[in-house]
Amino acid sequence: MCGHPQKIEPRSGVAFTLKRGQRLTVIDPEGEQVADLVAFVRDDIDEVISSGRTIDYASRLFLTTGDPIYSNRSNVLLDIVEDTVGRHDFLLTPCSADTFRIIYGDEHPHRGCFGNLAAALEPYGIGPDRIPVAFNVFMHVAIDGTTGEIAVKPPLSRAGDRVVFEAKVDLIVGLTACSALQSNNYAFKPILYAIADPA
Amino acid sequence: MCGHPQKIEPRSGVAFTLKRGQRLTVIDPEGEQVADLVAFVRDDIDEVISSGRTIDYASRLFLTTGDPIYSNRSNVLLDIVEDTVGRHDFLLTPCSADTFRIIYGDEHPHRGCFGNLAAALEPYGIGPDRIPVAFNVFMHVAIDGTTGEIAVKPPLSRAGDRVVFEAKVDLIVGLTACSALQSNNYAFKPILYAIADPA
């Protein structure tokens, strides 16, 4: 990692370009904090990370060091090159006002990671309908393989844990400090990220 | 069900409109055959079924009778109103030429459910990049909740098994007789479907 990490404030999000070969480090500075990550091909935003393709090709729900993240066109957009936690989620869409209304019963819901991503990606011409299932860094979703029941648990990440991604093509990345109570063990914390050029 | 069922030939696909209140019955006439289903809102094709939203709201990977299928905008597009099997998949994208190349090593791959859906949906103005994770009727994906490993198993459906969906809004539906060897216990069979008006 080179340069000072950037901070994503609690319950907010950012978007930025990540060039081919650059590495993105996502850090949980306090522990038990999720970061939703989405990525689009910079030169053609209709190509986007795909949970369905990635899980199919990996034959595994849980991704970690060495696993590629595929696009809807079956190209590798990112490789996971370092992971100090080993448990993340690639099943669920970013939390949204609807999530908080439907799951939590909030009458005046926060816009959630979905709203934060939509706002951050809007300057890149990416509309909210294009936001896919996110790679939810540090998110811990327990799965009962027999019943199919899932449960959102506190992240396994502790202060300083990190995941490093390498871009295989020029990308537009959206990244949040997640806004859902359950996902972050009922405390909203920041996320740090840093971008490093190839060695 | 009213009217004679329509047949989807092995390794092919169709698209059709399904009006609000109409019921779509998907039948496995010979057993162990998967049908990939996608659905778009007819009046705004940017609204589409969403595995991530649906699984999040259900807190369950396996959907069956009584479960709604949500869109990317968190509206219910379909309800599952009858299901004689109880095991389907909502994790994986439709099989494609890339699937056969990457997973099976085919040098001259079939276009798969993805190609069949793309061709069937093209007259409705729906491009291939818009095809989401499908609701894979009768598809049996075994999941190890501890390791996250997944394995495609023979469907649990036997001849005559069916799932009935009710449209909550006017839809464009894509439906296939799945083209992947593993998914259909290594034999490609047809799928039947019928559309019934509200009682």
A26-79 confidence digits (pLDDT tens): 999 999 999 999 999 999 999 999 999 999 999 999 999 999 999 999 999 999
Answer yes or no: is pLDDT of B199 > 90: no
Q: Could you tell me if the ipTM is greater than 0.90?
A: yes
Q: What is the pLDDT of residue A4?
A: 82
Contact between A56 and B96 using a beta-carbon 8 Å cutoff: no
- Which residues from B are below 8 Å from A146, CB to CB? 145
Which of A170-184, B20-34, B101-115 has the lowest average pLDDT? B101-115
Which of the four pLDDT bands, split at 50, 70 and 90, describes residue A104? confident
Cα(B52)–Cα(B48) distance, rounded to whole angstroms?
A: 12
Contact between B147 and A72 using a beta-carbon 8 Å cutoff: no
Answer yes or no: is pLDDT of A2 > 90: no
Q: What is the pLDDT of residue B153?
A: 97
Which of the four pLDDT bands, split at 50, 70 and 90, describes residue B151? very high
Nearest residue on chain B to A75, judged by CA atoms?
A: B98
Helix (H, G, I), strand (E, B) or coil at A119: helix
Which of the four pLDDT bands, split at 50, 70 and 90, describes residue B3? low
Token pair 């464009």 is found at B172
The residues, ordered by sequence, that sit 6+ positions from A41 with a Cβ below 8 Å of its Cβ are A47, A48, A71, A77, A169, A170, A171, A172
The residues, ordered by sequence, that sit 6+ positions from A85 with a Cβ below 8 Å of its Cβ are A138, A155, A156, A157, A161, A163
> Across residues A155-162, what is the average pLDDT?
98
The pair of structure tokens assigned to A111 is 């816009």
Contact between B50 and A143 using a beta-carbon 8 Å cutoff: no
For residues B25-57, b (16+ Cβ closer than 10 Å) or e, as one string? bbbbbbbbbbbbbbbbbbeebebbbbbbbbbbb
Answer yes or no: is pLDDT of B1 > 70: no
Answer yes or no: is pLDDT of A1 > 70: no
Determine the residue among A40, A47, A99, A133 to mutate to test chain B binding: the one whose Cβ has the most chain B Cβ atoms within 10 Å: A133
* CB-closest option in A56, A131, A145 to B144: A145
- Which residues from B are below 8 Å from A74, CB to CB? 96, 98-99, 102
- Give strand pairing partners of B60: A149
Domain ranges in chain A are: 6-196
A73 touches chain B (CB under 8 A): yes
Question: For residue range B72-106, what is the model confidence (pLDDT) as tens digits?
Answer: 999 999 999 999 999 999 999 999 999 999 988 89
Answer yes or no: is pLDDT of B4 > 90: no
